[in-house]
Amino acid sequence: MSDSTENQENMEEQISEDDWAAAMAEQAPLDSGSMPAAAAQPADIFPSFGGNAAAAGVMNELDMILDIPVQITVELGRTKITIKNLLQLAHGSVVELDAMAGEPMDVLVNGTLIAQGEVVVVNDKFGIRLTDIITPSERMRKINR
């Protein structure tokens, strides 16, 4: 190897070591608990949640989601059967469900239980009268069972 190539490599190593030393020197004050003045200022990224302006902003944000469709399902009951029994079902077959007669039916929104109710018939159409709204804490309790 020539002397010029060795000198070039030594200079690159020296520059590299100097860069690492500078980076470590910048890191040292942060490790010792002192923060630069620029880092002490909170970033103004998120809007404030205080005051009446925030309430109006929340209502505007809520308006954005009011048109999003959700799937509501009223569940009469459930059961598990084998594929063999499923293939034997025919017109007039009766499938036993786990719900008892007169028991409230579950109302699910996108698969999450939100209420219970009873069946009503209005103008020859079925509907459901909500009898119990499930609170978030009740939902968590039912999930943990």
Lowest-confidence range among 37-41, 48-52, 104-108? 37-41
43 — pLDDT class (breaks 50, 70, 90): low
CB count in 10 Å sphere of residue 72:
12
Say how many CA atoms lie within 13 Å of 9 toward its Cβ.
6
> What percent of the chain has a predicted confidence (pLDDT) above 70?
59
CA–CA distance, 72 with 108 (Å, rounded to integer)? 6
- The answer to whether residue 69 scores a pLDDT higher than 80 is yes
Domain boundaries, the chain: 1-68, 70-143
β partners of residue 116? 106, 132
CA quadruple 143, 95, 80, 125: dihedral, nearest 10: -40
Tokens of 140: 């968590």
CATH number for the domain running over 70-143:
2.30.330.10
